[in-house]
Amino acid sequence: KDCYGYGFLKHNTNSGFVDQEVRRQTPQVFSAHSFYASQGNRLVADIQGVGDLYTDPQVLSVDYRFGDGDLGPRGMALFFKNFRHCDLSDKMGIPIFPLSRNERKHQAKYEDDESTLSEGSPLLEALISKFRMLDDNRQMRKSILVRPIDLNCTDSNDTEKRNNFSDVSKTIRRSIVASKKKMAGSIVKRTKSDVDEVTTCLQIALTDAVFDNTAFHRYECGGLKPRHRRNSEDDDSNLRDKLSKRKSAALMKVVSPPMEITDETKSNLGKVHYHLAYLHGQDRFPEIVCPDRIDDDESPSHDIFSVVFHLSHAASLANSQACLALARARVGLQSSASPLLHTNVPIDFDSAKDLCRRAMASERAPASPKAAAGCLLYQILEDEETTGDVEKLHVLEETLNFLNLAELEQAAAKEHVKNMSSRGKA
């Protein structure tokens, strides 16, 4: 017995830990359900307790209103990266959060079993001491994740801050030639399946996300698709598999209709995908990297294919920052999302223009990336010398309006931080 009592377990945390060993379905599904039920504005994490009696949770929000432990969309991204869909989440009508091929491969390393350990299990007793150490991740989080207050600070390395007319013009004019002279150390070795995945992702980025029955792991008629489990090799595992199926069948007999996915939900899902792509680009998940994938026998610092995957899904959800990052890569410009992005995405000016227009048309996005997308689009049109003055003037007017709005938003953000600091002192 410890200070919490017998059977106290930490099922997930606000920084991405999702228990892959004890495998209680209910806590993880509860966290995922809280995200979609709140239209993506909240996610209840840090689920811990005895049985299904939970205590001391941490709420993650898109506006960072729940204290220092509220890691916002990045905390949500860390959760969904490790969340495993199951029969219960299907019956609850929770849509599938898409993961890249390499992410799914890594997730599949865990034994595909959904049983719950009993209180008398020796394995459970060993895990209890392990869970005590999970709270020590706070210091590691501080060194990896940006605090909410830091998001309002200006950073010259931000994607939207690096649109300079003269620099863009020079780079765009050289991009096709430069694409043939890329540095060998930054080009990831790609198989045919990798190329196909990137091509598919870049096509997804230019289309609107659709949440039909397939997104909810259901047939077109609305019926649930069965989840296939791998056959266990030993009798003990077979017994646990049978018990797991019985528990899963008895757990929830009523199948709920698919949860409603509103425009607000899509907007917040886009933020989650963008932050997950950014975390990949900042080397947050070294375990996803496949070895021997870069020229000169160098190992990549992160999985660029996961970056492209989540940026593309974020763009399909009209996330302006993701659209801008991909547009820059499509014309050979660097992006803060990943230093490998522009050297591993093919040059395509038409796609870049479409992505810029998509970013500018996003209704729920901040003005700053919209203005950056407008600057990039205007410079592409200027360099091509095939667009009429009327269209270029229209783009320029939109961009100037976005710049004015961006200044107002920045002033409001500074005022908000000032007010929050004053309340903290009081």
| Cα dihedral sign, 189-194-200-205 | negative
Collect contacts of 176-182 with beta carbons under 8 A, ≥24 apart: 176/332, 176/347, 178/332, 179/332, 179/346, 179/347, 182/343
The whole-angstrom separation of Cα 342 and Cα 330 is 7
Q: What's CA 201's distance to the chain center, in Å?
A: 14
> If we measure between CA atoms, which residue out of 345, 309, 339, 310 comes closest to residue 327?
345
Read off the amino acid at residue 82.
N
The whole-angstrom separation of Cα 359 and Cα 274 is 13
Run of H or E including 42? strand 42-45
The whole-angstrom separation of Cα 100 and Cα 307 is 9
Q: Which tokens in the block code for residue 394?
A: 């229209």
Write out residues in the chain with pLDDT < 70, as ranges.
1-6, 22-23, 109-187, 228-252, 290-298, 423-426
Run of H or E including 8? strand 8-10
pLDDT value of position 4: 54
pLDDT value of position 167: 55
Q: Cβ neighbours of residue 298 under 8 Å, at least 6 residues apart? A: 185
Neighbours of 392 (CB within 10 A): 14
Decide: residue 236, CB within 10 A, 0-12 exposed, 13-18 middle, 19+ buried: exposed
pLDDT value of position 391: 93
Quote the DSSP letter at residue 230.
P
The whole-angstrom separation of Cα 177 and Cα 297 is 25
